[in-house]
Amino acid sequence: MIELCRDVESSSANPFDVDIREKLLILKQRLPELKLLDELLVDAEAMLELSQIVKLQDEWLKTRASSLYIDPLLIQLKVKLLPKDALSEAFIKSWHPVAQLDQLSPRGLEKAFVYWRDLVPISERFKDQFGTYGTRPGQVDYSELVSLGVFTREQFETNLTNLYDELMQKSNSEWVDYREFIADDAYENKVRRAYLLAFLISEGRALLRTEPLTGKIWTMALAERVKGAPKSVAISITGEN
């Protein structure tokens, strides 16, 4: 019964297709058998849906009784026959546009000013829900790392030379996988190797090649330092291997 009512409500079917008297009799007969709360709730829902159908029947009768009712098939046919400009002309000839002024009043201007004045900056607005924002990605140069105590100048040179030797040995004039080369169990070491390798590449002691389609990155040590137009490549270093 509920499904039937809902089908009628969500389509342009004739609401008089639902026999309200018959449905009410059924509900009346079943009511004494209903004991559980769930059953009573479904019964109430059925009553609600039936009342919606009665409302639709009322509207249906009002429209049908008005002079606006015309057989839908006839309308479909007529609209099909009419060119677009004739349809719009019919509309214009029955149209009485609303006349009004759309303007900003002094009170509206004041409200806008107060809103803007009290508006919290966007960086502060969602702090309560999402907490503070993390630091944006930035750049750290060699001197900064030295000042932070991550490297001493001697250590850095030694580490750079060691990494160069390692790459030279592994690549042996062939391309090696960049990610495999910098891989390390400890994330910090991985970042350290990537940083040192970036330094070697910038100095022209190693090359870097990217394959945008596959996402592969290759590197190779050079026996002699080369000079060329420098290019920047952004590579993300994650904790995954």
Partner 1 sequence: MEAESGDRALLERKVRRAFQVLVLQRGRNPGVKGWEMKRHLGRDFRKIIEVLSEDVAPMGLEVFEVKGADETDDSSRFLLRFREPPSVSEAETSGIRIDDLAVLAATIAYVNSKQGRVARREVEQFLREKFPKWRIDYSLDRYVKRGYLEQDDRSMLHIGWRTHAEVDEKTLMTLILSRAQEAAKK
- The contact set with partner 1 (CB under 8 A) reads 9-12, 56, 59-60, 63-64, 67-72, 74-103, 105
CB of 199 vs partner 1, minimal distance in Å: 55
Closer residue to partner 1 (CB): 69 or 113: 69
The number of beta carbons lying within 10 Å of the beta carbon of residue 42 is: 14
CB of 3 vs partner 1, minimal distance in Å: 14
Contact (CB, 8 A) for 232 and 196 = no
Closer residue to partner 1 (CB): 50 or 217: 50
Closer residue to partner 1 (CB): 55 or 225: 55
CB of 45 vs partner 1, minimal distance in Å: 16
Closer residue to partner 1 (CB): 44 or 87: 87
Contact (CB, 8 A) for 146 and 156 = yes
For 114: left if phi > 0, alpha if psi spans -120 to 50, otherwise beta; the answer is alpha
CB of 42 vs partner 1, minimal distance in Å: 20
For the chain, what's the residue count? 241
- Integer angstrom CA distances of residue 204 from 72, 163, 198: 80, 14, 10
